[in-house]
Structures are given as structure tokens and as C-alpha cells.
Amino acid sequence: MDIVFIKQLQVDTVIGVYDWEKSILQRLLLDLTLTTDNQRAAATDDIGLTLDYAVIAEKVTALITAQPIELIETVAERVAQMLLTDFATSKVEVTVSKPGAVAQALTVGVHIVRSANDIRPPRRSV
């Protein structure tokens, strides 16, 4: 399998658990790694047969900025689920960093790994 990646995707959004965080934009940095098969795309030089970085970046940004989120863990999980559902990938790694969250650290964050087997079906309302 092959890897398509995006490093340090910058997304400014409302993120945080404290009241003061709920009224400001803060920057998140995302590293995305998607497992795929690039052989057909490489053989035909056809972007339609691979993962389009621009489309991925646009969809991830739209997902994260659609509504305020409190936890970066939630961001990572939602991004992973969307990538596995919407793109031809069997495994993703998502790292979400929040620079400045801890004064003594350059950044803090979470890193998750999910596969197509981890996709949870939507909950049905009863």
C-alpha cells in the first residue's frame, strides 16, 4: 500500500473547554496520513484515481469549522471517520496539535490510527 499525507494543515476554529476559548479562534495543526493504492493513478497520470490533497484539506477544514468543538480528541475522531467514509483509504492516521495550549510546551495534541474496520455505523434514533 501507498501513503498520501498532508503535514501541518492549519485550521483556525473555535476549540476548547474553557469559557474564554468559546469566543475566539484558535489554530489547530493537523497531520494526515491515508493508506491507499496509487498504482493506477501513477500509471495513467489521472488525479481522479488518487486522493486529491486539495479536496481532502477542504473537507477537513469544513468539518472542523462547521461548529465549535471542545476536545481535540473529538476533532481527531471526526476527521478520521470522515476520511474513511468519504475517500478511498483503508487506514488513516490523524494528529491534531494545539500550539500554545500549554505555556511550557511548543504544542500538545493527540494522534490516532483508525482503519475501515473501525467505522461506526450512524446511531438510529428510537
Q: Which residues are catalytic?
A: 98
d(CA 84, CA 92): 7
CB 112 within 8 A of CB 76: yes
Q: Which three cell numbers stand for residue 73?
A: 480528541
- Which of the 8 DSSP states describes residue 123? P
CA 33 from chain centre, in angstroms, equals: 9
